[in-house]
Amino acid sequence: MTPQPPVNPVNPENPDEGHGGRWADLDRPPLNATALRKALVRDGSLWTSLDVVQATGSTNTDLAVRAAKGEAAAGSVLVAEEQSAGRGRLDRQWSAPPRSGLFFSVHLKPEVPTERWGWLPLLAGVATATALSRAAGVDTALKWPNDLLLTVDGEERKAGGILAEAAAGGVVLGIGLNVSLRADELPVPGAGSLALAGAKGTDRDPLLRAVLRSLEQWYGDWQAAGGDPAACGLQEAYAAGCATLGRRVRALLPGDREIRGEAVALDGDGRLVLATADGVQLPVAAGDIVHLRPAADEG
């Protein structure tokens, strides 16, 4: 009798591909790094390199280190199949099962006045929402300043986040997006995913291509306008997709201070303008707040 090969053979050159490794969940295939590079890294493109790693603590941290060492030029993209120490603003943790989402960072060196750089996370939100509308057929709302919201069972839920950090004379911009998470895998009850929102597809390769191409387009237009968010349509686009505007909110500030009011506008610096009960309009910068919550949420 001829011996049969094992069901899950281990490749000695890449042991991750064996039993319990990267092929263990066939509903979540690995990204095709070669195809992604071929589609995105080309002459004249914003993207100069693209690497996919199996696991890391944080793509933002890793890419910032590479940039500081001169190992990551502007336009570098770093993608992880799994993050163990993904972070949001104020070092809030972000976690998800392997290959269940898109976790990536890009290194950018904007050639616009540095006072305009604060628009980058808002630009990334608009670019991601635009891409998901086209590629996944879902309506993505933006919660100022850095959250991506999807509607699941009639309820707005956070499905992604954006983090911008200074690095090597530029910015490392990280994006995390839940793609195929099931209800029993959600880290918190208020989380969501593309799958739970009824996306027409959860293949991460075309989704990543769509987001990076959209980011390239919006970034190019923003740079061509000298970083002017009004001239390139960024300010209008963000306001149109921002779920925060028109709602009463509490901006929680350091030192247990807070401002309550209706979010009425986004100013030219990307700050949220709150109209308070006494008739004053106060701009609030993303770097100055600890939390932004509905005014009715006393928790």
Interval 246-274: pLDDT, tens: 999 999 888 888 999 999 999 999 999 99
Task: Categorize the per-residue pLDDT at 93 as very low, low, confident or very high, splitting at 50, 70 and 90.
Answer: low
Tell me how far apart the alpha carbons of residues 25 and 94 are, in angstroms, rounded to a whole number.
21
Task: Categorize the per-residue pLDDT at 4 as very low, low, confident or very high, splitting at 50, 70 and 90.
Answer: very low
Task: Categorize the per-residue pLDDT at 299 as very low, low, confident or very high, splitting at 50, 70 and 90.
Answer: very low
Tell me how far apart the alpha carbons of residues 141 and 238 are, in angstroms, rounded to a whole number.
9
The pLDDT of residue 54: 97
The burial of 225, by beta-carbon neighbours within 10 Å (0-12 exposed, 13-18 middle, 19 or more buried), is given as: middle
Span 33-56, pLDDT tens digits:
999 999 999 999 999 999 999 999
Instruction: Give me the helices (H) in the chain, please.
Output: 33-40, 59-68, 120-135, 204-224, 234-241
Question: Tokens in use for 101?
Answer: 């989402």
More confident residue, 95 or 176: 176
The pLDDT of residue 24: 54
Q: Identify whether the C-beta of residue 87 lies closer than 8 Å to the C-beta of residue 163.
A: yes
Terminus-to-terminus CA distance in the chain, angstroms?
A: 68
Task: Categorize the per-residue pLDDT at 25 as very low, low, confident or very high, splitting at 50, 70 and 90.
Answer: low
Domains with residue ranges and CATH for the chain: 37-241 (3.30.930.10), 248-294 (2.30.30.100)
Span 168-224, pLDDT tens digits:
999 999 999 999 999 999 988 889 999 999 999 999 999 999 999 999 999 999 999
Mean pLDDT (the chain, rounded): 89
Q: Is the pLDDT of residue 18 over 80?
A: no
The pLDDT of residue 190: 87
Please tell me the pTM assigned to this model: 0.88
Q: Identify whether the C-beta of residue 157 lies closer than 8 Å to the C-beta of residue 243.
A: no
> Which residue pairs, CB below 8 angstroms and at least 24 apart, start in 120-124?
120/164, 120/171, 120/173, 121/145, 121/146, 121/162, 121/163, 121/164, 121/173, 121/286, 122/229, 122/234, 122/238, 122/270, 123/215, 123/218, 123/219, 123/222, 123/234, 124/162, 124/164, 124/173, 124/175, 124/215
Task: Categorize the per-residue pLDDT at 20 as very low, low, confident or very high, splitting at 50, 70 and 90.
Answer: very low
Tell me how far apart the alpha carbons of residues 59 and 173 are, in angstroms, rounded to a whole number.
10
List the beta bridge partners of residue 175: 104, 162
Q: What is the largest CA-CA distance in the chain?
A: 87
Question: Tokens in use for 176?
Answer: 């995390």
Other C-beta atoms closer than 10 Å to the C-beta of 206 total 15
Q: Identify whether the C-beta of residue 63 lies closer than 8 Å to the C-beta of residue 72.
A: yes
Q: Identify whether the C-beta of residue 283 lies closer than 8 Å to the C-beta of residue 271.
A: yes
Place of tokens 């149109």: 240
Cis ω for the linkage preceding 9 (within 30 of 0): no
